[in-house]
Amino acid sequence: MKIIIITPKFFPILSGNAVCTRRIEIGLKKLGHEVLVRTPHQINIKEIKTFLPDVIHGLNAYQSRVVQKLSLELKIPYIITLTGSDYEECLIDSVKYEKGLDKDGVKEITLNVMKGASYLVVYNHETMKRLLSLYPKFDNKMKIIAKGVPIIDHGNYSFREENFIDTHDFVFSLVSGIRPVKNNFCPIDSLGLLRKKYEKIVLTLVGPVADEEYDKELREKIKGLDWIRYVGGIPIENMRSVFLESDVILNCSHFEGESNAVIEAMYYGRPLLASKVNGNIPLIEDGVTGLLFEPENGDLFSKKAQDMIVDGAFREQLGKNAMEKSLQFINIHEPENYENLYLLSMN
């Protein structure tokens, strides 16, 4: 089978969609399929017609909406994986998503792409239930395919050494793209106050820039704060070191579809301090497989961050529980699940 995957971002840019696409691509190729990956800006219709795909797979209904046009031109079906911002921002909250396009226009485009898809994929039951309560007409085409085994690469990169972090420092790492929904400002003031008592605290900001204006504000905020390391985006082969050499992994998002960073942190047995939002709640049991806080509650964040600092045995147990939990929900059959869905859509 020949599959073309359309994704908003792809390597070398490291983003959630890029990581998911790469994982799916690797899995499908192992099954013997030919896979062509392109972003919407890389679409070359001549190249695609030469490739002769059997099916199109789009990640994010709004950002990869070009799949609908391709489907009509090539006369082949498409499926959509709903990744988070496409339903949270475009459908549920209906906030402005793109300059010059109002929220009603964004919502209409997103729904139209979803209507044209043979199947819609979500990552978990909670998301399916939530979406179908609002859009029951998609019941017959919505399927659950949980995320697969994280991409593991054993490179020689040393996260602490490369970022001048001492072995005795206590490292909180916020692993996420830099954009408003990821709430990158969240830990700065709270950890800054805690640092008066625990001077070994270091905060690292790991992830690519997805919003230039927001990034400028963030850089201005942390200017002169030598306990914060602005790491930015790094190659996927170095991410294992980020997780293993951090004491606590942070997720401060206002919403999540299902965070790759959260899943990977759990897979590597790292303690998590994460925002109590829809995408995180199914993965993290507060006090058992991680700690949860409301994104706007700085005091609660500080209290739970302090709990992490002072109790090493507690951190270790959280990480151990997280690893065990991750093995229950990580989907070892992700490539086969997509393969079956492609075949169904073609029939």
**Rounded CA gap, 75 and 38, in Å?**
19
Q: Does residue 103 surpass a pLDDT of 90?
A: no
Mean pLDDT of 134-141: 95
295 preceded by cis ω (within 30°)? no
Mean pLDDT of 242-251: 97
Instruction: List Cβ neighbours of 311 (8 Å cut-off, separation of 6 or more).
Output: none
Percent of the chain clearing pLDDT 90 (strictly above): 80
Q: Give CA torsion, residues 208, 284, 62, 113, to 10 deg.
A: 150
Burial class of 313 by CB neighbour count within 10 A (0 to 12, 13 to 18, 19+): exposed
Considering the four listed CATH numbers 3.30.300.30, 3.40.50.1370, 3.40.50.2000, 3.90.1150.10, the one that applies to the domain covering 159-329 is 3.40.50.2000
**Rounded CA gap, 150 and 306, in Å?**
29
Any idea what DSSP says for residue 151?
A: P
Question: Over the chain, what is the mean pLDDT?
Answer: 92
Whether 339 contacts 306, CB under 8 Å: no
pLDDT digits (tens, 9 = 90+) for 29-65: 999 999 999 999 999 999 999 999 999 999 999 999 9
pLDDT of the residue at 95: 44
Any idea what DSSP says for residue 242?
A: H
**Rounded CA gap, 331 and 334, in Å?**
6
Split at pLDDT 50, 70, 90, the class of 166 is very high
Q: What angle do CA 82, 56, 10 make, to 5 degrees?
A: 65
**Rounded CA gap, 204 and 334, in Å?**
31
For the beta carbon of residue 172, count every other beta carbon within 10 angstroms: 23
pLDDT of the residue at 102: 59
Mean pLDDT of 304-318: 98
Q: Which CATH code for domain 2-148+331-346?
A: 3.40.50.2000
pTM here?
0.85
Split at pLDDT 50, 70, 90, the class of 15 is confident
Domains 2-148+331-346 and 159-329 equal at CATH topology level: yes
Q: Give residue limits of the domains in the chain.
A: 2-148+331-346, 159-329
Whether 302 contacts 194, CB under 8 Å: yes
110, two tokens: 């997103």
